[in-house]
Homo-oligomer: A and B are copies of this chain.
Amino acid sequence: MARALGADGIIYSGDNDEKMLEGIEDVVDRWGGKFFVTYESKGDKALAMHHRKGFSIVHLTMYGIPLQKKIKEIRKKKNVLIVVGGEKVWGNVYDQADYNIAVTNQPHSEIAALTLFLHEYFKGKELEKKFKGKIKIVPQDHGKKVVNNEKE
Residues of A in contact with B (beta carbons under 8 Å apart)? 1, 3-5, 27, 31, 33, 62-68, 94-95, 97, 99-100, 102-109, 111-112, 114-116, 119, 124, 126-129, 131, 136-137, 139-146
Q: A106-B31, A131-B106 are in contact. Are A140 and B5 (CB under 8 A)?
A: no
Contact B140 A64 (CB under 8 A): yes
CB distance from A17 to the nearest CB of B (A): 16
CB distance from A111 to the nearest CB of B (A): 4
Q: What 8 A-B pairs are tightest by C-beta distance, nearest first?
A: A4-B106, A105-B137, A112-B115, A63-B144, A4-B108, A1-B108, A111-B111, A4-B104
Q: A94-B143, A111-B109 are in contact. Are A104 and B5 (CB under 8 A)?
A: yes
CB distance from A42 to the nearest CB of B (A): 21
Q: A115-B115, A115-B116 are in contact. Are A105 and B64 (CB under 8 A)?
A: no
Cα A62 to Cα B131 with chains together (Å): 14
**Who on chain B is nearest to A139 by CB?**
B65
CB distance from A139 to the nearest CB of B (A): 5
Q: A62-B137, A112-B112, A115-B115 are in contact. Are A106 and B142 (CB under 8 A)?
A: no
CB distance from A37 to the nearest CB of B (A): 14
Cα A75 to Cα B127 with chains together (Å): 18
